[in-house]
Amino acid sequence: MDRPLLVYTTFPDVDSALSIGEGLVRDRLIACINVLPGMRSVYAWKGAVEQGQEAVAILKTRKGLQDQVHRALKERHPYETPVVLFIEPTGADAATLEWLLTETSDAS
């Protein structure tokens, strides 16, 4: 039995997050994207300190698709170096897991 996997990334705005997220859902690579608007960031970049306004995106998929989601997200992401972090929940509601497995492709 596969298990749930979250992907944490950020986009320049809500529209780009939703557009790329919808493509990943249609490709059955993820079951869902949650996009949080209005995020403010401060970050180091090549030694300078930058400020930005972005959107946080949390993608929900299965562990067996991690490599495929990772590759597709990198190819389609508007940033040269997007932040991509994988978080494995230690548990899930049974219906949440069933939904994740039904709505995504078998890892292959």
Q: Which of 2, 72, 76, 82 binds a second copy (CB under 8 A)?
A: 82
CB of 106 to a second copy, least distance (A): 15
CA distances from 99 to 3, 4, 12, 44, 94 (A): 11, 10, 29, 38, 9
Nearest-angstrom CA–CA distance, 4 and 16: 24
Q: What is the binding site for a second copy (CB under 8 A)? A: 4, 6, 8, 10, 14, 17-18, 21-22, 25-26, 28, 31-45, 47, 49, 51, 54, 56, 58, 60, 66, 70, 74, 81-93, 95-96, 99, 103-104
